[in-house]
Structures are given as C-alpha cells and as structure tokens.
Structure 1
Amino acid sequence: MSELRPGLAAVRDLARSAQGVREAGELLDRICASVAETFGFGRAGISRLRPETDKLELLATHGISAQEVRQLSSSLDDWRIFKRALETRDLVFIEDVSAEHGLPPGVAEAYGVRGVLVLPLLSQDRCIGFLTADHGGEPFELDSSAAELLRTIGALVASFLEGALAQEELRRLDELKTNFIALASHELRTPAAVIYGISSTLQLRGRELDEEQIADLRRALYDQSDRLRRLVDQLLDLSRLEAKAIRIRPEPIRVRSRVEELVASLVPDRAASIELIVSAELEAVSDLDAFDRIVSNLITNAFRYGDPPVKIQAERQDRHFRLAVEDSGSGVNPEFVPQLFERFTRSEESKKNAEGAGLGLSIAQSFARAQGGDLIYKPIEPTGARFELVLPYPN
C-alpha cells in the first residue's frame, strides 16, 4: 500500500491545482507547475496538436518563458520526438538528445537540453496535445514506475486539456454568434440605408436633378444593391452550410475552361495579368456551384487584397486535385493567420483596402470541406499569398 502513496499524492496534487480555475490558460499553467514540482522537472510545457495543419500550439509553460518557446518551429515534421510519441501513442524518453537527434538542429545547444520526455495527451485514442519536460539541461533517468505514473497523470491532463479547449471553443462560438448578429445587422443596415436614401432622393427630388446627378445616383444604387445581394447570398450560404442543408452533387469539371470562364466574368480587364498553368485535359470532381464559389472568391481576393501578377495553377497529385491561386502582394499578417478562415474576421489591412463582411474565405473553406477537401493558406517567399483548394478524387 505504501508504494501507492506517492502516486496518489501526485494525482491529488494535480487535481487540487485545477480546482476553482475557470480560465484555460491559468489551469494549464498550474498543471505544468504541478507536474514539474511532483517529478522535479526544471522545465515543462503543454502544447496542443492541430491535426489539420500538423502544427504545435504552445498553451502553457513552467521554468521557461512562452516567448522563448514560440521562437522555435511549430511544425510537427521538425520534431522527431513528437512524431514518435504521436505514432506510438506512448511516452517517449530520450536520455541524451545529442545521440538520438530527436530535436530540430541547434535546439539542444541553444536551450541546454540533454534528456527530454514527450507524453502524448490522448482522448479516446485521439492525440490532442503533448506534455513535454526536462531537467533544464541536467541529465536524468526515468524508471518504469515514474513512467507509469506519468502516463496516469497524462490521462488526467488530457481530460483537463480537453475540457479547457471545449470551454474556450464555447466561449469563442458565443463571441462569434454575438459578432455575427452585430456585424450582420451592421453590414445589412449600411447598404439598405444607402439604397433607401437614393430611392427617396429619386422619388422626391428626381425632377430637380440634372442627368449627370441622376446617372451618379443610379450607379450608386446599383453598387449598393449588388453589395446587399452578395451579403445576403453569403449569409444564406453560411446558414445552409451550418445546417448541412446544401446538397453536394459531384461531377467532372474541365478545370481550365471553367477557370477561364470565371476570370472572364470576374476580372475581364485583369486577364492579361493572370498566368494560368492548367492542362486543358485536367478534370476535377466537384459540385459545380461549390467549385465556382471557392475559385471565384480566391480570384477576387487575389486582386482585391493582393497585387498582380496572379498565378493560377492546378494539377492532380496522387488521389487529390489541387488548385492554387497566388498573388504578388504583401501576404497575410502572420498574427492574423490563425483567424484567417473564421467568419466575420478581417485583418486591419483588409479593412483599409476594401469593403467586406469577412465571410468569403470561411464560406469557401466550408464548401471545400463539405466535399471532403479543404482550403489552406501558405505564405510565399519573399512576399505574396497562396491559397490552395484540395479536393479528393473518388475511388
């Protein structure tokens, strides 16, 4: 019975550290500190795994600043020890990282890492993150009983992490809903008010205006009506996608001819600044309306927020169709990238350069995912933005 006491005490201490904490960040910081204190670690951290991008997102640290850690690569491919923990679904301990090369080049020397462990945090056999720890550059051993206790604690940490992430997601969704109502009413009210104002002017004072003034008002009336139409279409798309009420009917599409038609209708005066690299025989299998909505959004954004020349290229890679639209602008601010596909979100740069409700990319990505695909963003070096549509080919 005495052998169980240290383990029970560790579990008790971990549970106590989580009591009374509502904020996810504070909760995970306390867990890091508790684990470090229990096992005598010099440094500990908890990171979240984003499977859609294979990126690691730091959530909490102890013994090292978050700023120091965030200077490192967040790509899972650069961290062999994390990949091993993910593949084995088990604790990975490296006694000497210089001998096993589990870290990216230069990290061990720069941060004084010698022995290190990574524990995958599993929820229903799904890895949601990792617990990482070391002795701050000092060598250490990990016996079987300590490893087993870490696995037990890892299950508790995974449960806490999942709860914290769920809480954050609920808070985020509630904020999005509030923003949706506020921004939707604002975006609808603005063109509606302008349309009403112009209509009233034409109705009440039309006879007093000269032809040039009437032409200006008609032009403004058309522009605002078109803006209102586009916004209503986006809101309807969004509600139908959320309700899963959109029927997807995949069919073969000749990509080059379809893209040429979209370019001719969207940016006829900019066609000369587009480089189209698509084989005439290449076909995609997609819902035609969804394909048009996605590609139209990417082409429009390339000119609205980026700079020419614009490159559109498509190809078949293994079992996937890939279409990329690249522009030569300044790209997306790295700090804004995590919110890029969220609805009603716009970067400060986009707010200055063009009108919009911040729905286009969110809807385009939803259309892609409704077909089992995705829409992803990658920066271009030295400058530019690249959006890539990925769709599966049927078996």
Structure 2
Amino acid sequence: MPGARRSSEGERSERCWAFAWWVRSSAGTVELDWLDRARERNGMGIRIGMLGCSPGNGHPFSYSAIINGYCYAGLRESGWPVIHDYITCRDPADFGVADLRVTHAWTQAEEVTQALCRTADIQHALRHPQDMLGEVDAVIIARDDVESHRSLADPFLEAGMPVLIDKPLTLDRRDLDHFTPYLEAGQLMSCSAMRYATELDVPRSRLAEYGELKLVCGTILNDWEKYGIHMLEASLSLVASRPQSVQPLPGIHQGVAILLQDGSRITVDALGSVPPHFELALYGSERITRHAITDNFGMFRRMLWAFAHQVRGGIPIIDPVNTLDILRTLIAGQEALDSRREVLIHE
C-alpha cells in the first residue's frame, strides 16, 4: 500500500505561490538575495539538507516525511514504530511544508542515511556533512545531543546559510554567546516544537479568561537536560513575564521552580523513566485547565512551516529575546539541579 507521496508539480507550485504571497504580505518584501538566486538556479523551491541522527531521536525521519511525504515500506522498516504510527494515520493532504524539499541527507551511519532516504524519497545520500555546502539552500540539524551542534552548524552558519537546530540548542553559556548573533540575525532557529503544540491553541487564545495566572505546571518524561526545553518552550511562549531565577525542588525525580519577574511561578517535573507524557496545567484566578500534549505531527509541521517562513523572510520568526530567555533558563535549571541551590537566570 503506497504512503503519502509528494504531490504533483502543479499542486506543489500552487502551494509555493500561496506561501510566497502570504510571506510577502505579512513580512513585507524582505527577500534574501541568495534565495532568489537559488530559486533561479534550481527551480524547485528551497532545497533542505537533513543532518544527523542521535540515539532515541527519530526526528530526521519524522521531519523528512512531513516535508517530502513518505514511502510506506521504507518508513515501516526504518525502526521507528511510534513515528510510523503517527505519520501513517495522517491524510495525504497533511504532507508538504511550503516549498521546502529535503534533497540531501547525512547521518553518522551510512545504513541509517540510506534508510532515511528510502523513507522520504531523498535523492542524495552523502558521506560527509560539508558535502551539502553549495548543494542545498538551508539545513536542519536533527540531533538532540547538544555537544554536536556547534561543530555541525558552524560551516553552514559561516557560509551564510539558514540553519534549524534541534532542541536543545546548547547547555553551555559560551556556545550560547556564540550562537546569539545568528539567532538575532534570523539566520539560526532553534526551539522545541512544543511551542507550536495544537493542544495549546485554545488557552493561548483565551489567556484573559484565566484572570491572574498564578502558576503553570509542566510534567515530562526523562530528564531536565534534554526534555526540560519542551515545557520551557510551551510555558514561556504563553506567559508575558520573563524568568528571573530557578530553584531545585526536593523529591525522587528532577523538579525545578522558575520564578518570573511578576512573582508568578512555573514548575517543571521531569519524571524519568515513565510512559510518554507531556502535560501543561494552567492555574489562574478565574480558570484552571490541564492539557495533555500528544500531537507530534501537528507541532512538528508547524515548526517546520515557521522555519520556512524565517528562511523566506530573513528575519527571526521567534523573538530572539524569548529564545535566549528559554535557553538561559534551561542552563540555570541544570546548574540549580547540580548545585542544589537557587540560580539567577542572568547570573
């Protein structure tokens, strides 16, 4: 049984035209010279290079399938059953992201690269990441091991190419300083897709109904280092106040309390080895709600669409101040857990 394949050239052209019109209408006529030249050169929209794969993280497969469509047999044999299940249950109309097309792929293992290319009909399997220079228009670094991010990203950032780096961008303050100019210039994007969770659309649009928002509680599986970013992205993109300090909480699992400048609080509990679980609870003076976050496909597609918008417009799609607040809070949280003391965000 065939899976959702890429649409016809006519359908893709129609989607590309509509997307370009929306960007020009909403972001003015800001257009990168290199991107205009790229369109003239290849006539196929924005060519994406997909880079890397890390243990337990199948994002190269899910991102590529969402952008390109997928081969049912290739996805089934890829070894990512959860991704297989949430990809194959979607309607074919859900696939494709603006005029992005993953054309090149590299991972650390040739057999993984070949499996990725089979899954998402990627034409070029490369032996070295630098082979993408001059061949693609933007890259996605789909690894969540932070120690690899700077060395993988720098050749592309230095070449002036747009880059999307999987969460978390870094846990090192010096690396964050290094990446900051690229974030501010709109060349680099990095976030958890939970910022775009479909389950948070209603509370985001009705925040006034909560009255005074006193407390936001996030609950995740695994650890703070890799998964804390999910709840930080979800919560700090909802609230207006900025984070001030992080304090470790006692208990048998990792937990932190984040004090905001307005005196309200965000707590995040990382439960360790438990069944998949992402939940955000909002406690206001007028309303209390809980939201289980389960729509991986929806949030990933929205994040990829946001990256396409940033590539097109050349300006940050996420306020760099918000991105930096989130990453500094993540770093401060790790320091608080390690030292068992309160850590100021801007310490």
What TM-score do you get using the length of structure 2 for normalisation?
0.30
More helix by share: 1
Structure (1 or 2) with the larger CA radius of gyration: 1
What TM-score do you get using the length of structure 1 for normalisation?
0.27
Higher relative contact order (CA 8 A, sep 6+): 2
